[in-house]
Structure formats: structure tokens, C-alpha cells
Amino acid sequence: MQKLQPVRGTHDLLPETARRHLHVIESGRGLAERFGYQPIDTPIFEFTDVFQRTLGETSDVVTKEMYRFTDKGGDDVTLRPEGTAGVVRAVLSNGLLQDAPLKFFYAGPMFRYERPQKGRLRQFHQIGVELIGVARPEGDVEVIALGAEILKTLGVGGQVTLHLNTLGDAESRAAYRKALVAYLDGRKGELSPDSLTRLALNPMRILDSKDAGDKQVVADAPRIGDFLTPAAAAFFASVRSGLESLDLTYTVDDRLVRGLDYYCHTAFEFVTDALGAQGTVLAGGRYDGLVETMGGPPTAGVGWAAGIERLAMLLAAPPSAPRPVAVIPVGDAEEALAFGLAHRLRLEGIAVDIGFGGSMKARMKRAGRVNARVAVLLGETERARGVATVRDMDTGQQSEVPLDALARHLAVFR
RNA sequence: GUGGCUAUAGCUCAGUUGGUUAGAGCACCAGAUUGUGGAUCUGGGGGUCGAGGGUUCAAGUCCCUCUAGCCACCCCA
């Protein structure tokens, strides 16, 4: 029989890790709401078409990374590889565009059939935001500012730098692409095999190739900045000055491109060098064509997604677990009394741990292990006198407290 | 999908050119302390050595296949 193990690339989130994840999610959601972003949850699977249409037929995500299957009813469905497509679909399904601009925050699992690696899993988790219906550059600035604030709150701001680029509008992009292909064609002989296929499929991707030879070729390549239409250039300038006015520092990175087809104008990434090759921690951009691609009216949009696993790894220390009160019956005769008392304390809002069975010594040991603040001991003598012995687990000091005063006495630990 | 490295107790790891009952530290359980955790001491439980096949008198150790992990490419959060 095969060893019991989770599916490749999936992971159990044991309590310490789970707490890190929750901390990331709750920090994100709290700040997002402060910025006016509402929580939204969409299904973790959709009709395959939702992703296929929006991500583009040729993207890697669609061609080789989708968890796609036919369900018992014959529907072609796919586990979501990213969050934006589902949110946009929900906006259209529910006719929400009449309330635009829309601001949403989401968190949840995503699925991509990839080879696992550090910071890369088949089931991973993201938080993300979408701002739909805002064509102005202030939208980009708000969304980036929210991301930066979340990273700062999580204490990872110092390990991360913001990279920024523009992909221009359709016109800019077409002109640039033409010039880029012409240039690269002339230096075909120097490109890596990977980049030769990119040249045919997605030439912009050559810009961020890690191959040394490619990098040399790219160094002299034409730059998108020289091909921007006046409108696209003005848009990018506004985003930059907006960031500067909020004291958000960034570096412009010519070679920052996007794998997904629906991006235009602003592209940005918060990157760290603390995570090996998967240094991107939060990334996004503007996707003005997406809603239309899905069958809605022309609608602007900007957003980002951040990898919870990657952020959780960067957290210096996991948020500490709450310290409970341990209720400990000394013998079987006090078991019922202790259980009832524990319940009443919980109803008063006090965190209570109660072990089930075992000697008093074993229960004290457990109290130590769960880092209890105090132990409430109930034995024969206490029962006879209607009191409990309260032991401070840090100092070892003990005192007797009448049972009916216990909740009040322990209220400081709420 | 491609390449490299790896897999021995819950965790981190020893295991000598193949040699007989596979070890340590930490963790866990119990006792020393018949109503008291964290320190110390003593004892105990826990391994089909990732799975399957092969070579051999003999395999944790050598060979093959598979699975999984790690690292990088591809790509991405």
C-alpha cells in the first residue's frame, strides 16, 4: 500500500501555518475595508470557458496549468487558476456594473498544475483586490497604495520593493511589438531556444528572460517608453506622480511584462529577494479589456493578487496563539463540575482549555503545553468549600477563589 | 514538461569497504513527587529504513522503475 500522503503540490496547513495564513487574510481584509473594498467570494470552479476566454488561448496557464475536468453532468469545468476572472464573471452574472465603481477584496485557494517548488504549489492561496469601472490613473494609485499598506502592516514592507512599468494602450503596444520583433529578428542567432519560441508566440516575454545571452540582446532592445501614444504616456505619468504624492517609492522596470493577455497600461510587482526564484509577492495591473472580453460593456479595471504562502513565509514570527485558562479536575468526582465550569467561563468570553481524562499531573502538563495563563484546580477540598484553586502558570502562585466569583476574577484574561 | 539533489522514529539526523537484535538528540508516555506543569534523573512506547522489483549466502547500504520532497528552468502569487 502506498504511504498516506497528500496530492502532489498540496499542503496541510498545520496550526502554526494556518495562523500565519489567517493573519495575512485578516490584515488584508481589514485594510481593504478601510479603503472601501467589500469582501466577495466566488466559487473555486467555473465553466472552463470563463478562464479560457479571459486568460487567452495561448497563455501557459490555459494551455498546460489548468485543473480541468468534465463533471457528471457533462459540464466542462476548471478549478480557478486565479481570482480576477471569477470576480468579473460574478459582476456580470449579478448585474453589478450599474453600481460601478466596484471595489472588491477576496481570499481563497487557487489551482495550477505546475511542478512544485519553493513558494509554488498546485493548490496555493491568494488575497486580491479588484477595482472595476475606474479608468482614471487614481484607480491604479489607490490599488497599489492598498497593497503597499498591507505589506507594511504585515511587517514585510522592508523586504520588498515596488517595480512599475506600463504596457501602454493597444496602439502603443502594437507599435512597440512591431519594433521589438524587428529588432529581435535581426539578432535571432543570439537568442536562447526558449526565446525563439517566445518570439513567435509572445515576444514581450523575451524581455524578462533569465538567460544570460537573452539579457545581452534585450539590453539594446527598443523600449516601450519610446512608443507610447501621448495618451498612454500621460496616463503613466499620472500614475507615477500619484504614487510619489503618497510617498510610495518605486523603480521603473522596462522589462516587467505580463503573462496574462488582458493587461494594459500599468503593471506592477512587489518583489523580494528572500524567497529564491519566486520573489514576486504581490503583483497586478490594469485590465481594461477584460470585462468586454467576457461579454460585458467596455469597462476599465485594475487589481492585484498576492500569494499568501509567500507572505506567510516572510512573516518574522507567527501571531501568537491566545493563552487559555486551563480547567483541571483533580479526580473523577470533579469531572462534571469542571466541565460545567469550563462552559460557563467560555460563555463569559474567556478562552478555556480542558483536557479529557488523564491524571492531574498529565493535565497540568497539558496546561503547560497549551501555554495556559492560569490553571483552575477543582478537587475534593475545593468542592466541599465551593472554591477553586487558581494557579498562575508563570509565577506558580496559587490562591482560592469562590466559584461564583471566578468569571469576574478571570475576566482580565478575556 | 526539462534538469540536478534527496528520501532511516512525530521532528532533526548518524549508520564505517554490503554482515546477523537499525541508533542518537529533541518530542511523546510513565515513575521519582498516593492533589500540581515547565528543570533534573530513571524507565518505556514508537521504524515492514518512501513503494515495488533486481543482484547477492547476506541489502538501510549496490542496480532499475515508480512516488514524493527540495532546488533551478519554463511560468507565475
- Are A125 and A108 in contact by the 8 Å Cβ rule? The answer is yes
In a domain, A405, yes or no: yes
Q: What is the CATH number of the domain that holds A273?
A: 3.30.930.10
- The answer to whether strand B lies under 7 Å from the CB of residue A380 is yes
Q: Which sign, positive or negative, has the C-alpha torsion A43, A48, A53, A57? A: positive
Whether A409 and A289 map to the same domain: the answer is no
- The answer to whether strand B lies under 7 Å from the CB of residue A364 is yes
Q: In the listed set A274, A290, A314, which residue is the last one of a domain according to the structure?
A: A314
How many domains would you assign to chain A? 2
- List chain B nucleotides near protein: any atom < 7 Å from a Cβ: 1-3, 28-31, 33, 35-38, 48, 50-51, 67-77
Whether A263 and A376 map to the same domain: the answer is no
**pLDDT-based confidence at residue A139 (cuts at 50, 70, 90):** very high
From CA A7, how far away is CA A371, in angstroms rounded?
34
**Spacing of A345 CA from B32 C1' in Å:** 36
> Which nucleotide, over all strands, has the C1' atom closest to the CA of A64?
B1
- The answer to whether strand B lies under 7 Å from the CB of residue A215 is no
Q: In the listed set A249, A284, A314, which residue is the last one of a domain according to the structure?
A: A314
Whether A81 and A122 map to the same domain: the answer is yes
Whether A252 and A128 map to the same domain: the answer is yes
Q: Which residue is nearest to nucleotide B35 (CA to C1')?
A: A330
**Spacing of A402 CA from B75 C1' in Å:** 65
**pLDDT-based confidence at residue A319 (cuts at 50, 70, 90):** confident
> Which residues, other chains included, contact A348 with Cβ-Cβ below 8 Å and sequence gap of 6+?
A407, A410, A411, A414
Return the closest-CA partner of residue A286 out of A101, A104, A135.
Answer: A135
Whether A294 and A343 map to the same domain: the answer is no
The whole domain housing A28 covers 15-169+229-314
From CA A305, how far away is CA A265, in angstroms rounded?
17
Q: From edge to edge, which strands make up the β-sheet containing A45-47?
A: A45-47, A76-79, A67-70
- Are A154 and A24 in contact by the 8 Å Cβ rule? The answer is yes
pTM attached to this predicted model: 0.92
**Spacing of A79 CA from B51 C1' in Å:** 30
> Which residues, other chains included, contact A175 with Cβ-Cβ below 8 Å and sequence gap of 6+?
A227
In a domain, A201, yes or no: no
> Which residues, other chains included, contact A149 with Cβ-Cβ below 8 Å and sequence gap of 6+?
A31, A35
**Spacing of A3 CA from B22 C1' in Å:** 21
Mean pLDDT of A67-83: 93
From CA A288, how far away is CA A293, in angstroms rounded?
10
- In DSSP notation, A229-284 reads -HHHHHHHHHHHHHHHHTT---EE-TT---SSTT-EEEEEEEE-STTTT--EEEEE
Whether A20 and A158 map to the same domain: the answer is yes
H or E element, residue A392: strand A387-392
pLDDT tens, A372-397? 999 999 999 999 999 999 999 999 99
Residue given cell 483536557 in the structure block: A355
- The answer to whether strand B lies under 7 Å from the CB of residue A60 is yes
User: Taking the mean position of all CA atoms in its chain, how far away is CA A244?
Assistant: 25
- The answer to whether strand B lies under 7 Å from the CB of residue A276 is yes
Helices A170-186, A193-201: axis angle to 10 degrees equals 140
Q: What nine digits make up the cell of A342?
A: 469550563
- The answer to whether strand B lies under 7 Å from the CB of residue A396 is yes
In a domain, A176, yes or no: no
pLDDT tens, A252-308? 998 888 766 678 899 999 999 888 788 899 999 999 989 998 999 999 999 999 999
Mean pLDDT of A53-68: 78
pLDDT tens, A170-219? 899 889 989 999 998 888 888 888 888 888 878 888 888 888 888 888 88
Residues 329-358 of A with CB under 7 A from strand B: 330, 358
- Are A105 and A27 in contact by the 8 Å Cβ rule? The answer is no
> Which residues, other chains included, contact A327 with Cβ-Cβ below 8 Å and sequence gap of 6+?
A338, A341, A342, A345, A352, A353, A354, A375, A376, A378
Which is more confident, A58 or A253? A253
pLDDT tens, A13-39? 988 889 999 999 999 999 999 999 999
- The answer to whether strand B lies under 7 Å from the CB of residue A194 is yes
Whether A292 and A337 map to the same domain: the answer is no
Residues 298-317 of A with CB under 7 A from strand B: 305-307, 309-310
> Which nucleotide, over all strands, has the C1' atom closest to the CA of A59?
B75
Q: What does the mean pLDDT of chain A come to?
A: 91
Q: From edge to edge, which strands make up the β-sheet containing A264-271?
A: A38-39, A102-111, A123-132, A301-307, A280-286, A264-271, A161-166, A251-252
**Spacing of A204 CA from B48 C1' in Å:** 55
Whether A145 and A20 map to the same domain: the answer is yes
- Are A325 and A376 in contact by the 8 Å Cβ rule? The answer is yes
- The answer to whether strand B lies under 7 Å from the CB of residue A377 is yes
- The answer to whether strand B lies under 7 Å from the CB of residue A389 is yes
Return the closest-CA partner of residue A257 out of A59, A8, A398, A40.
Answer: A59
> Which nucleotide, over all strands, has the C1' atom closest to the CA of A5?
B68
pLDDT tens, A321-373? 889 999 999 988 899 999 999 999 999 999 999 988 888 999 999 999 999 99
Whether A49 and A154 map to the same domain: the answer is yes
Residues 128-167 of A with CB under 7 A from strand B: none
**Given this model, what pLDDT does residue A38 score?**
97
Residue given cell 470576480 in the structure block: A87
Return the closest-CA partner of residue A201 out of A12, A57, A297.
Answer: A57
- Are A257 and A205 in contact by the 8 Å Cβ rule? The answer is yes
Whether A236 and A359 map to the same domain: the answer is no
From CA A213, how far away is CA A273, in angstroms rounded?
22
**Given this model, what pLDDT does residue A3 score?**
60
Quote the percentage of chain A above a pLDDT of 70.
98
Q: Is A214 exposed, middle or buried (0-12, 13-18, 19+ CB in 10 A)?
A: buried
Q: In the listed set A291, A314, A337, which residue is the last one of a domain according to the structure?
A: A314
Whether A272 and A398 map to the same domain: the answer is no
Q: What nine digits make up the cell of A268?
A: 506592477
- Are A163 and A251 in contact by the 8 Å Cβ rule? The answer is yes
**Given this model, what pLDDT does residue A100 score?**
85
> Which nucleotide, over all strands, has the C1' atom closest to the CA of A121?
B77
In a domain, A207, yes or no: no
- Are A120 and A77 in contact by the 8 Å Cβ rule? The answer is no
- The answer to whether strand B lies under 7 Å from the CB of residue A277 is yes
Whether A281 and A367 map to the same domain: the answer is no
Q: What is the CATH number of the domain that holds A404?
A: 3.40.50.800
**Given this model, what pLDDT does residue A1 score?**
34
